[in-house]
Copies of this chain bind each other. A is one copy, B any other.
Amino acid sequence: MQKRDILTPIGITLGFIMIMLAIVEKDGRSGISLFFDVSSVFIVLGGIVASLLINFKNEQIKLARIVFKEAFYKNDQRLSDLIRLFVTLSERARREGILALENELEDVDDEFIRKGILLAVDGIEPEVINDIMNAEITAMEERHYKGRVILEKCGEYAPAWGMIGTLVGLVLMLSNLDDPASLGPNMAVALLTTLYGTVFANLFFVPMASKLENKTEEEVFLKQIIIEGVIGVQSGQNPRILEEKLSAFLSGEPLDDSADEDDPTVAEENIYET
């Protein structure tokens, strides 16, 4: 259900290129080496890790790696495919009975849809199906939040540790003013941690946390349509009406590919016209 999202690596690369350009344009290639300082990277990243260790439980911290990776993938479930699937299921259910859907399940990858269909086939009442599946959505939101909050906290701790590093550097520099020649370079190094903290926050943590939030919202949206579809199929709704009903969500859909790939201009114009 997930596809690599090349925008994330492109964005990160672009961010670094921009910074490089700013350096090279002013100081030539030699300038770039001024911006690498291992101990500065250490204090900022180490400090963030230190704050995270205090902030979270062991189990939640282990999530950090997965969450970080997650920002490089995007959902690949199209609303139009979903609608087509439910129209097919609905037609079969009306023709051969709801129990026939059990055979269709082999072609369905999505765990959430499978679960819904199985509940429908078992004859569970619609309200109960709705409750159970909504409970799953809530659990998913909670689970995603637990991962995302780590990135959000990183976005708060990064500038703080950048500032701590700079203060350490400034105190050292000011305590040894004997050598005026080293003054500038020392202060330059002191400022590096603030630079790192700001870049880490605004190029990694904040936009990644925001992306994961968008993805969760999108998944919740798709899952709610699945619930509608499952209940529609179970209640033997007319496939045509079911399609209409599910398509109503299209206008508010979280910018699914299909819509604007099929006819981008129309879709774009529609955003503010309707």
Task: Tell me, in angstroms, the Cα distance from A8 to B52 when the chains sit together.
Answer: 9
User: Cβ of B54 and Cβ of A274 under 8 Å apart?
Assistant: no
Nearest CB in chain B: distance from A63 CB, A: 7
User: Cβ of A50 and Cβ of B172 under 8 Å apart?
Assistant: no
User: Cβ of A63 and Cβ of B255 under 8 Å apart?
Assistant: yes
**Interface residues in chain A, defined as those with a beta carbon under 8 Å from any beta carbon in chain B:** 1-2, 5, 7-8, 10-12, 14-15, 17-19, 21-23, 25-27, 31, 34-35, 39-40, 42-43, 46-47, 49-63, 66, 70-71, 74, 111-112, 132, 135-136, 138-140, 142-144, 146-147, 153, 156-157, 160-161, 163-165, 167-177, 181, 183-189, 191-195, 198-199, 201-204, 206-208, 210-211, 214, 248-249, 251-252, 254-257, 260, 264, 268, 271-274
What are 11 of the A-B contact pairs (CB < 8 Å)? A7-B57, A21-B42, A54-B208, A56-B211, A57-B214, A63-B255, A111-B274, A139-B249, A167-B191, A170-B188, A170-B191
